[in-house]
């Protein structure tokens, strides 16, 4: 399991969400066979998340401008866009189900595609409990996001808007 010492030095954290302040922190990374523009496009196409993000079943526009709501394993989270630097970095914060979270993504062009790093900071009573009951669950979730991103952006990807098979 990753710890705060494993954090990527180029990830930017909003106040109160550094890995050192987390009840749960995890990181996943991979090189995906696609340019940063495609990886960024997939990550920021929020309405399509339920098609490929494991456990996420619904997305709706939120009650506040630019906010959105997601249902993850039956729990509602209100999400707020954070950092947004096209083709390089993106992040969002969320509140719900006894947690506050921030998920950050860093995209770097490399030979053969894009090096993708995602890190998650989660705080709150539910995060504390989950860290005790299932210490690897957050790491598995981050790895699943990256695995799905690799699948969608790799050879044979569906650029025509067709729904991927999940």
pLDDT in tens, 59-75: 999 888 889 999 998 99
Residue for token digits 């401008």?
65
Interatomic CA distance for residues 112 and 117, integer angstroms: 16
- 106 versus 16: the higher-pLDDT residue is 106
Q: Which of 19, 15, 21 minimizes the C-alpha distance to 1?
A: 19
Alpha helix stretches (DSSP H) within the chain: 36-44, 49-52, 125-133, 137-153
- What does the pLDDT read at residue 131? 53
Structure confidence at residue 111 (pLDDT): 95
What is the structure's pLDDT at 159? 41
SS3 (DSSP) at 6: helix
Longest dimension (CA), the chain: 43
Q: What does the pLDDT read at residue 133? A: 47
Residue 104 per-residue DSSP state: E
Task: In whole angstroms, give the CA distance from residue 42 to residue 58.
Answer: 16
Give the best-scoring range by mean pLDDT among 4-18, 85-99, 141-155.
85-99
Average pLDDT, the chain: 82
Residue 161: pLDDT band (50, 70, 90) is: very low
Which of 10-19, 27-36, 112-121, 153-162 is the least confident region?
153-162
Best CA proximity match to 105, nearest among 127, 84, 123: 84
Domains and CATH numbers, the chain: 18-44+85-153 (3.30.530.20)
């Amino acid at each position: 399991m990753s710890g705060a010492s494993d954090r990527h030095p180029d990830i930017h954290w909003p106040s109160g969400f550094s890995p050192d302040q987390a009840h749960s922190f995890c990181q996943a990374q991979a090189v995906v066979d696609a340019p940063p523009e495609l990886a960024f496009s997939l990550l920021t196409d929020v309405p399509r998340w339920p098609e490929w993000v494991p456990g996420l079943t619904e997305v709706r526009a939120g009650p506040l401008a630019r906010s959105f709501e997601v249902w993850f394993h039956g729990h509602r989270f209100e999400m707020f866009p954070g950092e947004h630097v096209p083709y390089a970095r993106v992040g969002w914060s969320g509140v719900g189900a006894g947690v506050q979270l921030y998920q950050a993504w860093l995209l770097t062009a490399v030979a053969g595609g894009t090096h993708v790093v995602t890190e998650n900071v989660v705080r709150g009573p539910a995060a504390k409990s989950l860290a005790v009951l299932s210490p690897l669950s957050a790491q598995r979730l981050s790895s699943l996001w990256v695995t799905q991103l690799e699948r969608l952006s790799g050879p044979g990807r569906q650029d025509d808007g067709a729904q991927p098979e999940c």
